[in-house]
Chains A and B, each alone.
Chain A
């Protein structure tokens, strides 16, 4: 399917194999083509490595969530012990050993909630519009490499298509962006 020339265009290379997809990404990077989006049906360390992304920010959010959980637990346990100021079992009002258990549980709770919420926020979910270039096969058994480029630059378009085909793409399509 070839559409007429427009201002912005997307070239979609569809691969049947993870290794070929990785080769396509690496060849595009070698040719200084960086504006890529890749769709794939399962988590792939090879593709992630080829894309060369920095470490996910989710780590930082989980750390902040975990520390917040510990501080919240300390505030709850110490605060309520001061408020209900009753000696029980001859123990000090602030009996810190059992408070560690509450700190631990809330660290996990807040860390876990932070992990999921920061994943959703960083991944742009929930998404109400389909990403351009997406095909349902990319959730099933195909790997899609989508390159956005200027529709007027036919030399560049042909070069990208040729890189994708040479890397082993079974299908290369053009779509208006």
Chain B
């Protein structure tokens, strides 16, 4: 099929089906070793969390005044990662951006698992996680209700809505594809896909309502994605702490979320297209388009850093200025400069069209962006808490092995779930590639004239 796909005029519908369904062939030993490795790390994290629940938050490095650190950093990081999936699947769908068709399923899958990972952290962060339900309003004998003026309650509503809508959106888009997979599968897989396909056969009646529901879901998900990270940013911006209390936070966080999320899509897609042999479906043209988004959002994020610093200087607020002085030149100053290097300087090489189609270079850049964006969140959250209003309280946080291993476990959890999905469900949308087959042929034509 590869030979056929390299011919510019001929990715046929059947070629697309074969290319995607081949990915779902029974996996080899290397795949199972990878899955076992991921879930072993998850098991270690689960054991450490169990110990934390049993012994209390003393096993973490959290001490006054730094009571929010790596766990909340992970929460914000993973919610941010999720955002690019919705950008690609919903916002670019509304704009009828054709290059999204090959990459949106992977990005949307990433969204679901990233939100599912993010949702664990507020729970892990609690000393008594079994009282998580106190965030939700429910009739109780104490007439005690959550405070709807608190951003933490907004967050509970925003993130749970985001998880639900992302799952529904992904599931809806999957229905026609698993119906197609059902026609080719055997044994338990046929039963599994038949259940998921819900009896879909692609009749005019089914497509008619599907198209409208999908359009409306995209329309609903678009403002949702912007609201979710705005609400997450208000967890900080609504507080009066220097370094947090800033009106720029909502757009700054949304841009940062898309920046880190698209970088994570590249981190996953570049090796995936090689290992799963889908280079003919996810072409350098698609990756080039992702790289342009990374470049654009990097410039927005850099502008936000500059504006934030300017506002601190221009305000004349001594306490705010001290906080930022410590952020740039304090004991954790290196974190800030690593962040500037990874988020503002390294992505500038993406101005070069050659770099944007060089897969190895792009993968390395995407890793730097992921590191930079994690450090950004850590610097804002833990850095600002460290040097609060009262210098007598200042305390520099050191993460414990529990926090480090739970963080590593969260990456393993995310990668493990994503790998399971990629092998057992269509990771590239066959229906949308067929709908835009002309653009896919163009992409292959462009891809053959550029080095991959």
Q: Interface residues, chain A, CB within 8 Å of chain B?
A: 36-45, 47-48, 51, 53, 55-59, 62, 76-77, 80-81, 83-84, 88-89, 91, 95, 98-99, 101-102, 104-106, 108-109, 111-113, 115-116, 118-120, 122-131, 134, 136, 138-141
Min CB distance B140 to A, Å, is 10
CA distance A37 to B430 in the complex (A): 22
- Tell me if A41 and B13 are in contact (CB < 8 A): yes
Among A43, A99, A120, A140, point to the contact of B148 (Cβ < 8 A). A99
Please classify how large the interface on chain B is, using the bins under 10, 10 to 19, 20 to 34, 35 or more: 35 or more
Residue on B nearest A96 in the bound complex, by CB:
B148
B306 contacts chain A at the CB level, 8 A cutoff: no
Min CB distance A97 to B, Å, is 9
- Tell me if B204 and A40 are in contact (CB < 8 A): yes
- Tell me if A141 and B12 are in contact (CB < 8 A): yes
- Tell me if B212 and A59 are in contact (CB < 8 A): yes
Min CB distance A35 to B, Å, is 12
- Tell me if B203 and A81 are in contact (CB < 8 A): no
- Tell me if A98 and B148 are in contact (CB < 8 A): yes
- Tell me if A140 and B13 are in contact (CB < 8 A): yes
Residue on B nearest A121 in the bound complex, by CB:
B209
Supposing A62-B216, A88-B149 touch, asked if A109 and B161 sit within 8 A by C-beta, the answer is yes
Convert B162-187 into 0s and 1s, putting 1 for each residue whose CB lies closer than 8 angstroms to a CB of A.
00110011011001100110110000
- Tell me if A48 and B211 are in contact (CB < 8 A): yes
Q: Which of B364-406 contact A (CB under 8 A)?
A: none
B434 contacts chain A at the CB level, 8 A cutoff: yes
Min CB distance B290 to A, Å, is 23
The total of Cβ contacts below 8 Å across the A-B interface reads: 189
- Tell me if A106 and B198 are in contact (CB < 8 A): no
- Tell me if B145 and A84 are in contact (CB < 8 A): yes
Residue on B nearest A82 in the bound complex, by CB:
B145
Q: Interface residues, chain B, CB within 8 Å of chain A?
A: 12-14, 17, 137, 143-149, 153-154, 157-158, 161, 164-165, 168-169, 171-172, 175-176, 179-180, 182-183, 198-214, 216-217, 220-221, 223-224, 227, 231, 430-432, 434-435
- Tell me if B204 and A104 are in contact (CB < 8 A): no
CA distance A125 to B209 in the complex (A): 11
CA distance A113 to B161 in the complex (A): 10
- Tell me if B149 and A89 are in contact (CB < 8 A): yes
Min CB distance B116 to A, Å, is 17
Supposing A53-B204, A119-B172 touch, asked if A42 and B213 sit within 8 A by C-beta, the answer is no
Q: Which A residues touch B14, using CB under 8 A?
A: 140-141
Q: Which B residues touch A39, using CB under 8 A?
A: 201-204
CA distance A120 to B164 in the complex (A): 17
- Tell me if A37 and B199 are in contact (CB < 8 A): no
5 additional A-B pairs beyond A101-B227, A113-B164, beta carbons within 8 Å, are A37-B204, A41-B13, A41-B434, A89-B149, A116-B213
Q: Which 5 A-B pairs have the closest CB atoms?
A: A127-B199, A119-B213, A141-B13, A80-B145, A56-B212
- Tell me if A40 and B201 are in contact (CB < 8 A): no
Min CB distance B324 to A, Å, is 27
- Tell me if B13 and A43 are in contact (CB < 8 A): no
Residue on A nearest B178 in the bound complex, by CB:
A139
CA distance A9 to B200 in the complex (A): 23
Supposing A39-B203, A88-B149, A127-B201 touch, asked if A58 and B434 sit within 8 A by C-beta, the answer is no
CA distance A55 to B201 in the complex (A): 21
Residue on A nearest B205 in the bound complex, by CB:
A123
- Tell me if B154 and A102 are in contact (CB < 8 A): yes
Residue on B nearest A130 in the bound complex, by CB:
B201
Q: Which B residues touch A89, using CB under 8 A?
A: 149
